[in-house]
Chains A and B, each alone.
Chain A
Amino acid sequence: MGKELRVDNRRIALVVEGVFKSYPGSKALDDVSVQIHEGAIHGLCGKNGAGKSTLVSAIAGLTPVDSGTIIYYDEDITRLSIAAIKRRGVRVVPQHVAVVPEMSVAENLLLGEWPNWRGVVSRRTLMEIAEREFSEYGMELDVTQKIKGFDLIDQRKVEIVRALFGGSKLVILDEPATMLDDSDKQNLFHFVRQLSERGISVIYTSHRVSELLFLCDEITVLREGRAVGTFSASSLDEPSLTRHIMGTTDFFFTRDRSTEPSEHVLAEIKDVVSGGARGVSLDLYEGEVVGLVDRVGGGGRDFARAIAGIIPMRAGSVRVDGHRAATITSPFAALRRGIAILTHDRHGEGLVLGLSVERNIPLADFSSVSRLGVVRSRAEANLAATFVSRFHIQTTSTSALISTLSGGNQQKVYLSKFLVAKPRVLILDEPLTGVDIAGKEDLLAAIDGLRQEGLSIIYHSYEHDEALRIADRFAIFSAGRIQRIVENEGLSEDDLFRLLRSADDDAVDRMEEANGPVS
């Protein structure tokens, strides 16, 4: 246990007192008590299944508790309806952005509550209100534009402002920094601090320890339904917070440095042009992990997706294992050459949610579970079982629907799917998104294992601390090209940021050389 919560004179916005919630066979919340100070940024963390989402649900009124009380500004809201709790100013912003893409920012902001006179929407009032709201938070957006044209970070902020609309005083943010690169993250953190300074209390859930420590004032850790404690962020560091979350220390993945990448070039990639990538060349060695470091739109993601055939390759060629060099035109073509990708969007592009675990796994390569086009279900089940045990995938059975698995386990299934196809080059784009701490370590270990087996792995992520743990070298992108390649010898996150900035300078220099001075 860490230090006790300090008693001070700040007002308490929310008190959760002795809350219990059980489902048949398990206790989701076991005597949980938390106090949220007004205007605090209060972190909430724990493994999957620890009770975070149940607690958030209970506060918002979505899940009734068995016993205990929840008091919001001296009012008992434990048994109130969802609508009533919302009216009182408690709002939740879910992890996945839920906006109507074809509607304007203003219409999204006031979704369902558009100002109207007898059913006819008054556009001018709508725009005025929207502009006023956003300027209060220091945001300058063209509120008449369709929201789909805006970056993820802006969409997230619109969602948060929407939640606050109407005078909310307590907002719960569920993993809001997912998939944001560093500068967008800073943008978000700055925004959240603004809210806190205005006296709005923020509950911030996340799996990312570094984020929590950076942003939050206090952090509550849940483990197996119990509140391990509430700590002031200043009293913790990453190892100690991780320890509180996990309960033990012996799970950390560390790179096995005994196997070095070989000298053998497994893949030669030349002059790839596609989307934001404007001529990228890279040689991949057998048994290595190359991290791609870029900003949003810097070209790293598009490069990765292009060589795997997800987006069309306008120019360039890939040559794997000595075979003929070719432009990759489709995922089918990429897989045939031994290139596989786990994209950042595992729900949209990775897994078929309506199918079971064992039916998702062979989708990239049926040859081991079928003969003459007929599937042998025993073989299918066995194949799934081997991956379940290899990656410690937690599921009730291999015939369970993929949608019932947690994020980390889904990611493991996603990985298994492409391993069936025996790729030589494996591309991972944000593979640890939405994965809890234990799952992360598992996956990193698995990735390292693949590296040792001789695969070339490309690792793209905006979470540089993850990449630092696994990569052998880094390709630094700027303006659609690789500006530098560095070995991962004792690098830190700050080093990577510096490298990014100097890569930007390099890019500008190159352009000026080619085209004259850039203003």
Chain B
Amino acid sequence: MVPLAKQSETSAPKATTTPSSSRRATKVFLDVVLDNAVWVLLVLLIVILSLVNPQFLSWSVLQAIASQSAVLGVVALAVAFTLLVGEIDLSVSAVLGITAFVGAWLIINAGIAFGFALIVMVVLGIILGAVNGFLVAKVKMNSLIETLAVLLTLQGALLFFAQGRTAIGFPDAFLWVGQGRIGVVPVLPVLVLLIYLAAAFLLRRTTYGRRLYAVGGNAKAARASGIRVDWVILSAFAISGALAGLAGFLLASRTGAVTSVFGSGYLLYSVAAPIIGGVSLYGGRGNILGVLGGVLLLSVIDTGLQLARISSYQITMVGGLLILLAVALDAFQVRIRKGSQSAEP
């Protein structure tokens, strides 16, 4: 940041002299609160839930939440990449399912080493993602409908190949990632956290990340700047596919089995989590921290409501209302902050 001596020359005069330090402190506090509305809501929810059930704040509960949100975290990240570039990927949960099935077949039926099978799963995810990317970026299909069609196709493919059977019999090494621990710390959430750090680095600190935000923010301007918009969009979908393939591995490892409807439960939340976390549907806005916040919020709602012994008949409804509240809060803070909040990571 390089401040200047001259006063800013904008048509509506901006406040350059701060009225009083206490008022400025309030403004800074509110800025932080509203910038990270999802985290504020998360903390608030945790406080309320621990008041209702003091057991909530224990290490084992937090671990459980961490493990349960891990796979959702990866699929939400996948969708976030496509949202940032101004598109959407609804096929993530189905890519998860089909790559998990292929991996399972390779490992269990064909006896392939699990490291190699993992690579195949991720590569398959990349290929499927790239197909999406190609159809959206080059053939100019609408991403909502295109990925929806791919979702149905892949879900159907999984049903067809699985024929109602469930794949089991993974080697222990395979299951260690999803179910194992290092000391008292479960492996799965730690791994996902590393993935998040890598994604945050990619988006914040690399030229690729800058190009992604530019394309999402104003594709025409990005193109006019010499950015190859088509490739950026395609690559965002490829990354989404790779993450979905990775999620397939992680979920299979956690469950120890691959069913014929594997992954179908993640569809709604994979899209909801990043949007709750502040990633804009129009593209070019949002950050990784927000996605993480959205994922955790949804997981805390699920787990917390269950631990609060809310009847299973009411959990769905209460959970839905809380999500509505989170989205409303996010929309509200955008309204009052319009213009002064950065879209950057």
Direct contact of A and B (CB under 8 A): yes
From A119-127, A295-303, A369-377, the one touching the partner chain is A369-377
Contacts of A28 in B (CB 8 A): 12-13
* A343/B224 in contact, CB under 8 A: yes
Q: How far is the CA of A359 from the CA of B343 in the complex (A)?
A: 11
Q: How far is the CB of A299 from chain B (nearest CB, A)?
A: 20
Q: How far is the CB of A64 from chain B (nearest CB, A)?
A: 14
Contacts of A398 in B (CB 8 A): 1-2
Interface 1/0s, chain A 377-414, versus B by CB < 8 A?
Answer: 10001101100100000111111110111100100000
Q: Is A355 an interface residue (CB 8 A)?
A: yes
Q: Is B4 an interface residue (CB 8 A)?
A: yes
* B224/A395 in contact, CB under 8 A: no
Contacts of B214 in A (CB 8 A): 352, 355, 363
Q: Contact size class for A?
A: 35 or more
Q: Is B58 an interface residue (CB 8 A)?
A: no
Given contacts A364-B226, A409-B9, contact A404 B2 (CB under 8 A): no
Interface 1/0s, chain B 21-33, versus A by CB < 8 A?
Answer: 0000000000000
B231: nearest chain-A partner, CB-CB: A332
* B222/A396 in contact, CB under 8 A: no
* B217/A352 in contact, CB under 8 A: yes
Q: Is B221 an interface residue (CB 8 A)?
A: yes
* A394/B342 in contact, CB under 8 A: no
In chain B between 205 and 220, which residues have their CB closer than 8 angstroms to a CB of chain A? Answer: 205-211, 213-214, 217-218, 220
Q: How far is the CA of A354 from the CA of B342 in the complex (A)?
A: 6
Q: How far is the CA of A24 from the CA of B182 in the complex (A)?
A: 57
Given contacts A354-B217, A394-B8, contact A401 B339 (CB under 8 A): yes
Among the interface residues B9, B14, B223, B339, which one has the most CB atoms of the partner chain A within 10 A? B9
Given contacts A354-B284, A397-B1, A404-B8, contact A331 B13 (CB under 8 A): no
* B226/A355 in contact, CB under 8 A: no
Contacts of A330 in B (CB 8 A): 223, 228
Contacts of B19 in A (CB 8 A): 24
Interface 1/0s, chain A 320-338, versus B by CB < 8 A?
Answer: 0000000000111011100
Q: How far is the CB of A468 from chain B (nearest CB, A)?
A: 27
Q: How far is the CA of A399 from the CA of B8 in the complex (A)?
A: 13
* B15/A24 in contact, CB under 8 A: yes
Which residue of the partner chain, among A23, A54, A355, contacts B343 with CB atoms under 8 Å?
A355
Contacts of B211 in A (CB 8 A): 363
Q: How far is the CA of A362 from the CA of B226 in the complex (A)?
A: 11
* A24/B2 in contact, CB under 8 A: no
Q: Is A417 an interface residue (CB 8 A)?
A: yes
Which residue of the partner chain, among A349, A375, A384, A403, contacts B221 with CB atoms under 8 Å?
A349
Q: How far is the CA of A499 from the CA of B166 in the complex (A)?
A: 81
Q: How far is the CB of B215 from chain A (nearest CB, A)?
A: 9
Contacts of A395 in B (CB 8 A): 4, 8
Q: Is B55 an interface residue (CB 8 A)?
A: no
Q: Is B10 an interface residue (CB 8 A)?
A: yes
Contacts of B220 in A (CB 8 A): 348-349
In this complex, how many residues of chain B approach chain A with their Cβ under 8 Å: the count is: 44
Q: How far is the CB of A363 from chain B (nearest CB, A)?
A: 4
* B344/A406 in contact, CB under 8 A: no
B283: nearest chain-A partner, CB-CB: A354
* B4/A388 in contact, CB under 8 A: yes
Overall SS of chain A's interface: mixed
* A375/B218 in contact, CB under 8 A: no
Given contacts A23-B15, A25-B16, contact A403 B9 (CB under 8 A): no
Q: How far is the CA of A350 from the CA of B211 in the complex (A)?
A: 14
Among the interface residues A353, A365, A396, which one has the most CB atoms of the partner chain B within 10 A? A396
Q: Is A421 an interface residue (CB 8 A)?
A: yes
Q: Is B254 an interface residue (CB 8 A)?
A: no
Given contacts A363-B210, A394-B9, A396-B3, contact A352 B218 (CB under 8 A): yes
* B217/A370 in contact, CB under 8 A: no
Q: How far is the CB of B287 from chain A (nearest CB, A)?
A: 12
Q: How far is the CB of A199 from chain B (nearest CB, A)?
A: 31
Q: Is A143 an interface residue (CB 8 A)?
A: no
Among the interface residues A349, A381, A405, A421, which one has the most CB atoms of the partner chain B within 10 A? A349
* A417/B16 in contact, CB under 8 A: no
Which residue of the partner chain, among A359, A373, A384, A385, contacts B208 with CB atoms under 8 Å?
A373
Contacts of A382 in B (CB 8 A): 2
Q: Is A48 an interface residue (CB 8 A)?
A: yes
* B218/A353 in contact, CB under 8 A: yes
Q: How far is the CB of A46 from chain B (nearest CB, A)?
A: 11
Q: How far is the CA of A279 from the CA of B149 in the complex (A)?
A: 45
Q: Is A26 an interface residue (CB 8 A)?
A: yes
In chain B between 5 and 59, which residues have their CB closer than 8 angstroms to a CB of chain A? Answer: 6-17, 19
Contacts of B3 in A (CB 8 A): 396-397
Q: How far is the CA of A49 from the CA of B13 in the complex (A)?
A: 7
Which residue of the partner chain, among B6, B9, B218, contacts A48 with CB atoms under 8 Å?
B9
Contacts of A404 in B (CB 8 A): 8, 10, 14, 339-340
Contacts of B11 in A (CB 8 A): 48-49, 53, 406
Q: Is A317 an interface residue (CB 8 A)?
A: no
* A397/B2 in contact, CB under 8 A: yes
In chain B between 198 and 251, which residues have their CB closer than 8 angstroms to a CB of chain A? Answer: 205-211, 213-214, 217-218, 220-228
Give the interface of A toward B (CB within 8 A). 23-26, 28, 48-49, 53-54, 310, 330-332, 334-336, 341, 343, 348-356, 359, 362-366, 370, 373-375, 377, 381-382, 384-385, 388, 394-401, 403-406, 409, 417, 421
20 A-B pairs within 8 Å (CB atoms) are namely A25-B13, A48-B10, A330-B228, A332-B227, A349-B224, A350-B224, A351-B221, A352-B218, A352-B222, A354-B342, A359-B213, A359-B344, A362-B210, A363-B221, A373-B207, A374-B206, A385-B2, A397-B2, A400-B8, A403-B339
Q: What 7 A-B pairs come out closest when comparing CB atoms? A: A354-B343, A335-B226, A26-B13, A352-B217, A366-B207, A363-B225, A385-B2
